[in-house]
Structure 1
Amino acid sequence: MNKRFIRSPLIFPVIHRIFIFCLALIIIPTLLSGCNYERHVQDSDYDYGAQQKNDPKMLGTRMYGSLTGNPDQHDNKYFEYSSMLSREVSDINGVATAIVMLTDKNAYVGIALDWTAVGTKRIGGRTMKEQNNTGSNEGVYNHRDGTPYYNNRKMITPYNSYFSVNDHNLISRELKQTIAKRIRRLSPNIEEVHISANKDFVNEMVDYAKEAWLGRPLEPWVDSFNILVKYQFDGGKTMPTPISEMKDRR
């Protein structure tokens, strides 16, 4: 198993975005004053927690989640990885990285969060974070046992990682609406957009994406994928066997 030394969390790719976020908080007040500055930030995609009237992020009808009322909405005939939509969603403030899968009906979005926006969670914020990144200050991966290595097989881990949200209902509505608008603008025929930052869901989405990156067909994994999305978004009772385990058995 290939391993690499981790001196800091997987935050390096977004350091420049965090810098821009902080710089904006310094520069914008010099251009705007008082309530105008506060409203400007709340209306921007740097703040998903304001929940104020006439927030431009929330104008119009809800564009994410269950909308059709079709009980078979998650019985997808096929799914495919969209590199374009994955890049588009990854560019949204507050999102560290994203994997987007398109089906004959829906778009499914797995996201990992970062520090480039506030209010990405509906409640709790940093006080309810699921990752322990304290080891980055000590040059280790796992702060508890001092392990300096990370096997690089999972996008989101319990230590030195981007941030997950176990229950997708706890993701900010403003953030989900922002993501759904971006996807529907580029894929207007999508019936529903489902978004989650659940650690297991995102890591499994990454494994499906790896298959696509290697030029392998995703058709053999359709049943597994449908079980995954039903478990995450439709009250399914079981998680599928991880694709990595199924491949090891072959």
Structure 2
Amino acid sequence: MKTKSDDLCRAAMKQLYLMSCLVAAILAMTTITGCNYTRKVQDSEYDYGSQQANDPKMLGDRMYGPVGNQPDRHQNSHVEYSYALSRKLSKTQGVAAAVVMLTDKNAYVGLVLDWTAVGTKNKGGRQAQEQNNTGSGKGVYNIENGSPFWDNRDLVTPFNSYLSVSDHERISAELKQTIAVKLRQLSPYVQEVHISANRHFVNELVDYARETWMGRPLQPYLTEFNKLAEYEFADSGKPPMRLRQLKANAAAQR
């Protein structure tokens, strides 16, 4: 015979069961939402290091680096600075600035990295950071000797600077693919896209860009530019002379 106490007990058990189901559902939704959020971040330009399957940044063919076996790939016959591409690529997460040079065959991209994305390097992390920025908190440029002076002609420096990566092979493949895809959207006929964040390479591209800003042609320096490309991307032995040194030598001979 059922009693009022039994009914109350069953009602309480039912309510407890419903509450348990509700809590489980909320936890499941929270987990799913959290997973979806994590996946969205990993798929975005804020994360170049997760390397999860089906990342949209890596779908399709590789769009950067050498194509085929072309020993003369860096023997360009024309070079120019691209303001439009430099501006577009500079808006990429993880990139503080980009300098883009176009030739009759290729695109050469100099990247300056920042802290707006993770995984921009495929190994090393903060331990391999090439810049020492501790002087910025002590009112000096060079923390090693206490000097407040620097060569402001260079975009990237060893101290108090955005980030460089000496070996272009250490740049994340996801970042390079992202850069190359964006570049090819505006320049679909480029044969190869070569990308580096080496500070010497970037600073040299800035000097070439500066010539364009001053309304001066780059063709007189084409041979040295090709040497620069060979040195950076084909491991040719001798580093090319800096553009500013070439100009100084030419001025001294007048």
Query: Same fold per TM (> 0.5)?
Result: yes
TM-score, with structure 1 as normaliser: 0.86
CA deviation profile, 1:1-32 (whole Å, cap 9, x unmatched) = xxxxxxxxxxxxxxxxxxxxxxxxxxxxx9x8
CA distance in 1, matches of 2:86, 2:128: 26
Deviations 1:157-200 (A, max 9, x none): 11001111010000000000000000000000000000000111
State the Cα distance separating 1:150 from its structure 2 match. 2.3
Q: Which stretches of structure 1, 4 residues or longer, exceed 2 Å deviation after superposition? A: none
Quote the offset at 1:240 in angstroms: 0.8
CA distance in 2, matches of 1:79, 1:245: 19
Q: Name the counterpart of 1:38.
A: 38
Counterpart-to-counterpart distance in 1, 2:61 and 2:112:
25
Ranked by relative contact order (alpha carbons within 8 Å, sequence separation 6 or more), the top structure is 1
Alignment of 1:158-177 (within 5 A): 158-177=158-177
Q: Aligned-pair distance for 1:69?
A: 2.1
Q: Do the aligned partners of 1:133 and 1:161 also contact (CA within 8 Å) in 2? A: yes
Query: TM-score by structure 2 length?
Result: 0.85
Question: Structure 1: which amino acid aligns with 2:174?
Answer: E
Residues 167 and 198 in structure 1, CA contact (< 8 A), matched pair in contact too? yes
Q: Which amino acid aligns with 1:79?
A: V
**Cα distance in 1, alignment partners of residues 205 and 68 from structure 2:** 24
Displacement of 1:33 in angstroms is 2.8
Between Structure 1 and Structure 2, how many residues are aligned? 220
Question: What SS is found at the alignment partner of 2:35?
Answer: helix
How far, CA to CA, are the matches of 2:150 and 2:198 in structure 1? 20
Task: Spell out, residue by residue over 1:113-169, the C-alpha distance to the aligned partner (whole angstroms, 9 max, x if none).
Answer: 000100000001111000000011112111112212223011111100111101000
Gaps of 5+ in 1: 1-29
Alignment of 1:196-211 (within 5 A): 196-211=196-211
Distance in 2 (CA, whole Å) between partners of 1:85 and 1:248 is 29
Q: Identify the structure with the greater helix proportion.
A: 2
**RMSD over aligned Cα, in angstroms?**
1.2
The equivalent of 1:103 in structure 2 is: 103
Provide Cα deviations, 1:18-56, integer angstroms capped at 9, x if missing partner. xxxxxxxxxxxx9x8321111111000000001111000
- In the alignment, the residues of structure 2 paired with residue 246 and residue 192 of structure 1 have an alpha-carbon distance, to the nearest angstrom, of 28
Aligned AA (2:55): D
**Deviations 1:213-235 (CA, angstroms, capped at 9, x unpaired):** 10000011100000000111112
Deviations 1:52-95 (A, max 9, x none): 11000000000000013221111000100000000011000001
Secondary structure of the equivalent of 2:107? strand
Contact 1:68 1:191 (8 Å CA) reproduced = no
- Which amino acid in the other structure matches residue 179 of structure 1? I
2:90 alignment counterpart: 90
- Alignment match, 1:114: 114
Native 8 Å contact 1:98 1:109 kept in 2: yes
Secondary structure in 2 matching 1:33: helix
Residues in 2 aligned to 1:209 and 1:238: alpha-carbon distance in whole angstroms: 23
